[in-house]
Structure 1
């Protein structure tokens, strides 16, 4: 059986392992017996309970069903999943997943909520210092999971403004960008998504001071998130939020209309 790694495992991983172990013990099952119910080996169950290996989404779903946990395992796993994201991003992800609306202005890259998996993988693969393959896989999967907020009920309302330069940067090569353009056009057809582009012809505009995301919380308050170079800032002071919200409104008014944006993306796709 796998040996414990208590010194290196995170608090969330240890908590999840303890919840799994307690529920299994309460059900009167050995690790092998639980594994059989889940279509896993006893060693696999042991590896998760001792924090030797992380629990995959498939493992979590199987454990929830096998133990008839009533959502307890899924609730514990929510915090485990947060650790798939960089530390500076984890708090924002929680806010984003509960948001009534997200309004994003992006300068260098296409927003993660409308990225394809191949585009996301190419972006993460260009990181420096370089990430290993396991890290890239984990971060790519985590980024794709964030997109679930567009399909939840009630769906989050998403407004994305992209700098034209971000669209022209051929991340991952021609095939990746073709698929990414198609993804953007499909996203723009959703009733809860508004996509706009700030054209390069708009030489001076309100967004030159940098990118931002506005989050409308379930309590109908607004927060502003900004990041760069592995650092992040969450703005909550009302007067500062108000100033940034007004700036975003100006950026939106200066950007191309949604229908003009679709035409531009189609043109860019035709150039590939």
Structure 2
């Protein structure tokens, strides 16, 4: 009964993969233990995926694909299963982000996920409420790291990130976590397709006081704006509303430190640790 409840509550893509895995296994006349042995996994690991007790990792899928000679059927699920690793309210945005021509974000609380180190991303969950169990944390962190593929994608995407100074001064995880995170920001800023800017606290009043936002330009050059907070999100597509937010972002960018000044600012913060 517990397994049935777990299966029914699993995301649809995870349930579908469980069924797709079971069919070729049974057709090949293999038990879960026998398939596990061919994959260098335990039978209980195969059972966990087939009962939806645990979502499959990319490595598990590759091993099952090879062991069952599935002709690409299992591996084709990776793209869709990756979306299930993200919170439900974020899944639609991730699809748009990974295909976007440009992504421009203004961050008021945390460093943009595209530029986070794995250690910084993991440390964020230490403060999550309600608490998140370790297994889910690992999946969420892995999903966030997957987003970085955008930075190296062909054709190249243009990424602009404006960070409030307070975001940089908040020592998530402590100095040992923040030092490499500062280094990561500086390295990203050196890329030809990435711009990093800092909004200093000395700008007492500026156009960004209404809150964070992310602007996207889709492959067909349609502008969109993504707004998120407290586990909820809004995707703004009405041209007049997008226009207002785009002009606001442009003003925020003009009021922030320039790219070179921003790198110097981040280097100074790193020197204070």
Instruction: Establish whether residue 15 from structure 1 lines up as the match of residue 16 from structure 2.
Output: yes
Cα separation, partners in 2 of 1:52 and 1:177, compared to 1, 3 Å: closer
Q: Which residue of 2 aligns with 1:94?
A: 95
| Deviating more after overlay: 49-58 vs 253-262 | 49-58
Q: Which residue of 2 aligns with 1:122?
A: 123
Structure 2 counterpart SS, 1:72: coil
Structure 2 residues not aligned, in runs of 5+ = none
Note the alpha carbon deviations across 1:233-271, whole angstroms, 9 max, x for none.
110111111111111111111111111111000111111
Question: Is the Cα contact below 8 Å between 1:124 and 1:140 reproduced in 2?
Answer: no
Structure 2 counterpart SS, 1:194: strand
How far off is 1:229 after superposition?
A: 1.1
State how far apart, in whole Å, the 1-side matches of 2:7 and 2:240 are: 45
Q: Which residue of 2 aligns with 1:207?
A: 208
- The count of residues paired between Structure 1 and Structure 2 equals 271
State how far apart, in whole Å, the 2-side matches of 1:135 and 1:22 are: 27
5 Å-filtered alignment, 1:251-266, equals: 251-266=252-267
5 Å-filtered alignment, 1:8-47, equals: 8-25=9-26, 29-47=30-48
| Deviating more after overlay: 43-52 vs 117-126 | 43-52
5 Å-filtered alignment, 1:180-191, equals: 180-191=181-192
Note the alpha carbon deviations across 1:41-89, whole angstroms, 9 max, x for none.
3443233122233212210122233344444323323332222221211
Structure 2 counterpart SS, 1:218: coil
Cα separation, partners in 2 of 1:95 and 1:69, compared to 1, 3 Å: farther
| Deviating more after overlay: 106-115 vs 133-142 | 133-142
Q: CA RMSD in A?
A: 2.0
| Deviating more after overlay: 133-142 vs 245-254 | 133-142
State how far apart, in whole Å, the 2-side matches of 1:54 and 1:134 are: 10
Note the alpha carbon deviations across 1:169-193, whole angstroms, 9 max, x for none.
1111111111111111011111221
State how far apart, in whole Å, the 2-side matches of 1:67 and 1:101 are: 40
Q: Which residue of 2 aligns with 1:148?
A: 149
Question: Is the Cα contact below 8 Å between 1:101 and 1:217 reproduced in 2?
Answer: yes
State how far apart, in whole Å, the 2-side matches of 1:241 and 1:69 are: 45
Structure 1 counterpart SS, 2:140: helix
Structure 1 residues not aligned, in runs of 5+ = none
Instruction: Establish whether residue 54 from structure 1 lines up as the match of residue 80 from structure 2.
Output: no
How far off is 1:16 after superposition?
A: 0.9
How far off is 1:33 after superposition?
A: 4.4
State how far apart, in whole Å, the 2-side matches of 1:171 and 1:50 are: 37
Question: Is the Cα contact below 8 Å between 1:102 and 1:159 reproduced in 2?
Answer: yes
Note the alpha carbon deviations across 1:109-155, whole angstroms, 9 max, x for none.
11111111111112121112222222322222221121122122223
State how far apart, in whole Å, the 1-side matches of 2:45 and 2:164 are: 46
TM-score, normalised to structure 2, is: 0.91
